Amino acid sequence: MKTSELRRRYLEFFRNRGHTVIPSVSLIPDNDPTTLFTSSGMQPLVPYLLGQVHPEGKRLVNIQKSFRAQDIEEVGDNRHTTFFEMLGNWSLGDYFKREQLPWVFEFLTKEVGLDPKRLYVSVFEGQGSIGKDTEAIELWKEIYKTVGMDAKEGEQIFAYPAKKNWWSRSGEPENMPPGEPGGPDSELFFEFPNVQHDPAFGEKCHVNCDCGRFVEIGNSVFMQYKKEADGSLSELSQKNVDFGGGLERLVAATLDESDVFKIDIFQPIVASLESASGKKYGADVESTRCMRIICDHGRASTMLMADGALPSNKAQGYVVRRLIRRAIRFGRLLGLQTGFMTEIARSVLDSYAEAYPVAPEKREAILAAMSQEETKFNNMLGKGLKEIEKIPTLTGALAFKLFETYGFPWEMSEEIARERGQQVDRTEFEAEFKKHQELSRTAGKGMFKGGLADHGEAVVKLHTATHLLHQALRSVLGVHVQQKGSNITGERLRFDFSHSQKVSPDEIKKVEEIVNSQIERDLPISFKLTSYEDAIKEGALAFFGERYPEKVKVYEIGDFSKEICGGPHAEKTSLLGKFAVTREEASSAGVRRIYATLS
């Protein structure tokens, strides 16, 4: 089946079961300081899983663009990618296991046509105060019976501890921060019997084995618990279902193809790589691995750029840079010199033109950024070569330094040294590399952990202050001011907006006075549900970088501010305290940034 066909059928299947289709949000999350990327469908829905009212109701279906930086080292096998599309269906306190598990099974076996005998499921074995999910086991047995199968635990259905069958953004219950939602889950695996088990992954193969014979294609999370400050788990006010399915893997399964890189969406990308390198995908293990890495990194960096993250040395831009440079390094192993990443970006944009259209000017900007980054990195590699010429004997540690500073690949150091009749110490290089990896892993932990988009009191108040600030800036500076981004922690708010010059101290003072006077007026805060069109017609502000669903929530702060927003917010402005701007600076061309606090 083609990717576009599966997307269409999935949305249709759940639309026919009372779900409303909601659009994918950006890969760069707004207003969530705890994480750099949207890495799952549930991330933008956290407030609603915790009990906020969703404007589109209690049954939702979506296909969410997702990016997982932590999977970068796994790319190269038949199924891991950093960017992927996640099929989601959501019950926000509506249906539960009894309805959802049969639907997923029906979708996979009837709609998509997968052989039920090759579908295996896992459930939660129980841990601590939460018992084994016997309800899910019984339901699965009943479900398999509908296709004439007598599915048994230990044969088709397997129970695993929390490490495998508990889902929250931070993993097992003990890793969840207070306030984080999570719950037991039931994963679905598709078997590719032609893939021989590789004993490198363990003596016996099993559904959770990493050899590639069993591929996880979906996961139903029964999101019904919340972590409390005392470390216990409490029941959420509503029982939710969060289903996530891997679109690319599912398309591969419909083709009885264990390699996701062989599905239609990758074809133009692989073809552009084959024509640049003159090598055939699949011809040998090493170049196939290189091609997969380049395909993945080329696709991920292009999709991230399309959502506004251009290569840089900071935050998301740094990850984009790393992906591009890593792809170029693997390109060199394939014998590719320069210019190929821009071609790949072009193929990616073509492949996704229908699902995630990009305006022509933006397309040109992405291609230009890719080409610039390629040139920059190639120049650096050139400098690395010159440095090497100056070094009389290349040690493993020096080779690593060249790798770290110029991205100079090990293989190239080795080859140069060989030309001089020397040998570089690989063990020394690898020891340095390992040290470096440990360091970046520790640094990365804080950056990529899926922590809670904190909905504590301080964050909620600062969020309300952001709306007041947005409106006050428009009153003082003019209505050209539009929100470009925001980021809130328990200590301060950060707000980016369109404005081409520095905001003067006098203007800042006026903005502070306006916000504080609205706080003193003790305005009530309320929301209503309406269509996006009507909201805009009646003057509600929106974060124009986003695609909104048809129905939206509009928050009103008395008669002062009206804005499309998911919430949550304080009940009335007098709860906010005193507002003060602490810093004003440039963010990017034509965008200013303000930091402010409440005390």
Tell me if the bond preceding 568 is cis, omega within 30° of 0. yes
CB of 580 to ligand SER, least distance (A): 38
Give 223 or 305: the residue with its C-beta nearer to ligand SER: 223
Give 192 or 222: the residue with its C-beta nearer to ligand SER: 222
CB of 41 to ligand SER, least distance (A): 5
How many Å separate Cα 427 from the centre of its chain? 35
* Type of residue numbered 96: F
Q: Contact with ligand SER (CB under 6 A): which of 10, 19, 28, 41?
A: 41
CB of 98 to ligand SER, least distance (A): 19
CB of 221 to ligand SER, least distance (A): 5
64 contributes a contact to ligand SER by CB under 6 A: no
Structure tokens at 280: 């055939």
Site for ligand SER in 160-199 (CB under 6 A): 167
247 contributes a contact to ligand SER by CB under 6 A: no
Q: What are phi and psi of 172, to 5 degrees?
A: -60, 160
**SS3 assignment, position 584:** strand
DSSP 8-state assignment for residue 501: S
Give 103 or 579: the residue with its C-beta nearer to ligand SER: 103
CB of 153 to ligand SER, least distance (A): 23
Structure tokens at 205: 């193969």
Q: Residue-wise over 325-337: b if at least 16 C-beta within 10 A, else e?
A: bbbbbbbbbbebe
Binding pattern to ligand SER, positions 77-96, x when CB under 6 A? Answer: -----------x--------
Give 221 or 424: the residue with its C-beta nearer to ligand SER: 221
Cα gap 471→486, rounded to integer Å: 14
219 contributes a contact to ligand SER by CB under 6 A: yes
Q: Contact with ligand SER (CB under 6 A): which of 221, 241, 452, 462?
A: 221
β pairing state of 59-67 and 20-21:
parallel
- Considering only 40-48, 50-58, 373-381, 445-453, which stretch makes contact with ligand SER by CB under 6 A? 40-48
Structure tokens at 373: 């980054």
**SS3 assignment, position 486:** strand
Give 78 or 219: the residue with its C-beta nearer to ligand SER: 219
- Considering only 70-78, 236-244, 284-292, 340-348, which stretch makes contact with ligand SER by CB under 6 A? 236-244
Site for ligand SER in 356-385 (CB under 6 A): none
Cα gap 265→242, rounded to integer Å: 26
**SS3 assignment, position 127:** strand
CB-based contact 264:350 (threshold 8 Å): no
- Considering only 34-42, 488-496, 570-578, 583-591, which stretch makes contact with ligand SER by CB under 6 A? 34-42
CB of 38 to ligand SER, least distance (A): 11
Q: Contact with ligand SER (CB under 6 A): which of 6, 27, 42, 476?
A: 42
CB of 522 to ligand SER, least distance (A): 40
Give 20 or 40: the residue with its C-beta nearer to ligand SER: 40
Could you tell me the end-to-end alpha-carbon distance of the chain, in angstroms, rounded to an integer?
57
- Considering only 6-14, 69-77, 241-249, 288-296, which stretch makes contact with ligand SER by CB under 6 A? 241-249
Cα gap 189→139, rounded to integer Å: 17
Pick from 87, 380, 26: nearest CA to 372: 380
Give 100 or 530: the residue with its C-beta nearer to ligand SER: 100
Residue nearest to ligand SER (CB): 244
Q: Which own/partner contact pairs does 235-239 have at CB distance under 8 Å and 24+ positions apart? A: 236/49, 236/50, 236/51, 236/181, 237/51, 237/93, 238/51, 238/92, 238/93, 239/91, 239/93, 239/96
CB of 416 to ligand SER, least distance (A): 44
CA-to-CA separations, 74 to 70, 109, 258, in angstroms, rounded: 9, 29, 16
Q: Contact with ligand SER (CB under 6 A): which of 24, 35, 38, 40?
A: 40
Give 217 or 319: the residue with its C-beta nearer to ligand SER: 217
Give 225 or 532: the residue with its C-beta nearer to ligand SER: 225
The angle formed by the CA atoms of residues 579, 585 and 586, to the nearest 5 degrees, is 135
Give the CA diameter of the chain.
81
Cα gap 126→323, rounded to integer Å: 39
Cα gap 213→207, rounded to integer Å: 8
* Type of residue numbered 442: T
User: Where do contacts with ligand SER occur on this chain (CB under 6 A)?
Assistant: 40-42, 88, 167, 219, 221, 242-244
